[in-house]
Amino acid sequence: MYAFKAEDFTASRTRLEAAVIVPILNEHDNIVPLLERLWDVLQGVNAEILFVDDGSTDGTVELVESIALCDQRVRLVRRINRRGLSSAVTEGFLATVAPVVAVIDGDLQHDETILPDLLGAVMNGEAELAIGTRYAQGGSVGEWVAHRIRISRFATWAASSVMKTRVSDPMSGFFAIRRDLFLDIAPRLSQRGYKILLDIIASHHSAIPTAEIPYRFRTRSAGESKLDGAAILEYGELLVDKLVGHVVPVKLLMFGAVGLVGTLVHLSVLGLGLNLAGLGFSLAQALATLSAMTFNFTLNNALTYRDRSLSGWRWVTGWLSFCGACSLGAFANVGLGAMLFADAWPWWVSGLAGAAVGSVWNYAATSWLTWRRK
């Protein structure tokens, strides 16, 4: 039997030099213009364009597929029931074997004319990571309104607390990096939200040799912006994860924060029941407990576990399982607190210990029972 060797496949083909990952979601009208621009600036570079789609419903997938059928330089990765720019980019890196990989948005807001400079800086060994920056001399945020500039500046300032590599624009989504370096960092990535570059910089154990190429950020001409409240929340999660995620899971912290707000709901309903409705304590307490559980479940479903949010009938069954799990947590809370108090521990220590154990139980039980990934 003939034994195939690598040189048998490379002798008649040009070696793949680079890949350009384009994470997309409903960018139908931008696909063809983007490809035309990319092929124009990538002349002389043996590259592939890898679109990673998060479930587009506007015909984007069908368009990319039709192009890929005729052009082997274009590839498509479709993701089912998975969302998020950072994780999409990661899957793009895993789907290519190109030694140098660039990332560019699919909305035409990044200036593709600097792409050869980004790739060249890494290919030539000038840097291991090359970033398209809006904030270095010669760069610009374009026609952003004042409040958008303030948000970006604040996010950039906040990122300084987790960065090991100092760069002018850690919020940039336009960069090139050695694929082997990315794969080395990948196991430590949070993959939260849409700021994959910051995740990369914060996850590497030391500073990365970096080059910065200034560019002017363009105004979107088609499609809709993906920057919303959820994106801002995910950015906050990323920062918290990089600061304390190695000690306490971010979702546990969010679960606890929701629980604190739920305590206020409990006390409010209890007070209204006793003082306004004239209910007995037991009935008012039961209504307050049910209200707080429902509030906690709803908020956790919308925020803490929004990546596996329940809806329809699953919302009802999820609420029942949440209430059941938290009822057991309440028993653990009261039981441990009473035991410590009977053992002469201070009342506040006994109360906090019981609450902590109850909260951890509720988090662990509901993560597995209510919001378990299918």
Instruction: For the domain covering 6-235, report its CATH number.
Output: 3.90.550.10
d(CA 320, CA 126): 58
Per residue in 47-62, pLDDT (tens digit) is 999 999 988 999 999 9
**Does residue 298 have a pLDDT over 60?**
yes
CA dihedral of residues 205, 209, 213, 217 (deg, nearest 10): 0
Model pLDDT, residue 139: 82
Per residue in 276-292, pLDDT (tens digit) is 877 776 677 778 778 88
Q: Are 297 and 319 in contact (CB under 8 A)?
A: yes
Pick from 224, 202, 218: which is nearest to 158 by CA?
202
Each domain of the chain, given as residue ranges in start order, spans 6-235, 250-369
Q: Are 127 and 100 in contact (CB under 8 A)?
A: no
**What's the mean pLDDT in 255-278?**
80
What mean pLDDT, rounded, does the chain reach? 82
**What's the mean pLDDT in 220-235?**
61
**Does residue 229 have a pLDDT over 60?**
no
d(CA 72, CA 254): 45
Alpha helices in 276-312 (DSSP H): 281-299
